[in-house]
Copies of this chain bind each other. A is one copy, B any other.
Amino acid sequence: MRALVVEDDPDIGIDVENGLADAGLVVDRITNGPDAWFAGDTEDYAIVVLDLGLPGLDGLTVLRRWRASGRTMPVLILSARGDWTEKVEGIEAGADDYLAKPFQLGELVTRARALLRRAGGHAAPVLEIGRLKVDTRNRRLLVRDVETRVSPLEFRLINFLAHQADRTIAVGEIADHLYGTSEIGDVNAIEALIMRLRRKIGSDSIETRRGFGYRLTGGAS
Contacts and interface: CB of A to CB of B under 8 A. Distances in A.
A87 B70 CA distance: 22
A71 B155 CA distance: 37
A106 B139 contact: no
A173 B106 contact: yes
A92 to B, nearest CB: 11
Interface string A146-183: 00000111010000000000111010110010000010
Given A34-B91, A42-B115, A84 B106 contact: no
B104 A172 contact: yes
A43 interface: yes
A55 B155 CA distance: 41
Given A42-B97, A42-B115, A138-B168, A56 B34 contact: no
Task: List the 8 shortest-distance A-B pairs measured between CB atoms, nearest first.
Answer: A152-B211, A56-B84, A34-B87, A104-B182, A42-B114, A139-B212, A138-B168, A38-B97
Given A37-B91, A56-B88, A152-B212, 17 more contacts: A32-B84, A34-B84, A34-B98, A38-B98, A43-B114, A56-B84, A57-B84, A104-B172, A104-B176, A104-B182, A106-B170, A106-B172, A106-B173, A137-B167, A139-B168, A139-B209, A151-B211
29 contacts: A34-B87, A34-B88, A34-B91, A38-B91, A38-B97, A42-B96, A42-B115, A42-B118, A56-B84, A56-B88, A57-B84, A57-B88, A104-B172, A104-B176, A106-B172, A106-B173, A137-B167, A138-B166, A138-B167, A139-B168, A139-B209, A140-B168, A151-B210, A151-B211, A152-B210, A152-B211, A152-B212, A153-B211, A155-B212
